[in-house]
Amino acid sequence: MTFIQDTALIDEYLPTYDFKTTQGLIINGSTAKVYQALQSVNLLSSRWNRLLFRLRGMSTGPATLSDLTRKGFITLGRRKNQELLLGIVGKFWRPSGFLQKLSPEAFKAFQTEGFAKAAWEFHLNYLSPQETYLSTQTRIQCYGKNALRWFSIYWKTIEPFSSFTRKEILRTVEKQFETSA
């Protein structure tokens, strides 16, 4: 499925990257209502996501996307009823993660060797008054050969789980939307 759209926030914050994953689904609802559901989605309503958050050291886990900011993510930008962009910087392949607390401007400028930064976007495309294509894209940029090597090993292990988690979040938004509609 291809869509014509304005430049996405993710292109502004992470235009070049080493790794990328994209998932999406069509939800029977207006972009405004799907966006509301996205803002309040309970990430812990899925057993799968609860397990993966625990394995990543987030024992209490984030309940909503905005709660992720207490776990190291940065809200990089929002376009109401269109997109939400989160970012995170660290050494994700290490147990502690070495997460960096940054402003959106510092995230854009960050290029410290040995680290990686990731941008995680949710994008809503209007299909009709009652249909929205909700997608998520994650991009990762590694800085330096060691970071690229370590992240490559890490990504080969976690990418299937990471992609499944993102699909599960999209399905949870859909279920939450259908329940509230």
Name the least confident of 3-7, 23-27, 42-46, 70-74. 3-7
Range of the domain at 113: 10-180
Q: Is the pLDDT of residue 71 over 90?
A: no
How far from chain centre, in Å, is Cα 62?
A: 13
Q: Is the pLDDT of residue 24 over 60?
A: yes
The CA distance from 46 to 66, in Å, is: 17
Q: Is 136 helix (H, G, I), strand (E, B) or coil?
A: strand
Confidence label for 6 from pLDDT (cuts 50, 70 and 90): low
Q: What is the pLDDT of residue 111?
A: 97
Task: Name beta bridge partners: 136.
Answer: 23, 122
DSSP H stretches of helix in 25-69:
31-40, 47-55
Q: Is the pLDDT of residue 40 over 60?
A: yes
Residue 5 lies in a domain: no
pTM of the model: 0.89
CATH number at residue 50: 3.30.530.20
**Would you mind telling me the total number of residues written for the chain in this entry?**
181
Q: Is the pLDDT of residue 118 over 60?
A: yes
Residue 81 lies in a domain: yes
Instruction: Return the closest-CA partner of residue 131 out of 11, 7, 26.
Output: 26
Confidence label for 112 from pLDDT (cuts 50, 70 and 90): very high
Instruction: Return the closest-CA partner of residue 34 out of 136, 162, 161.
Output: 136
% of the chain exceeding 90 in pLDDT:
67
Q: Domain tally for the chain? A: 1
Residue 2 lies in a domain: no
Q: What angle do CA 23, 141, 112 make, to 5 degrees?
A: 150
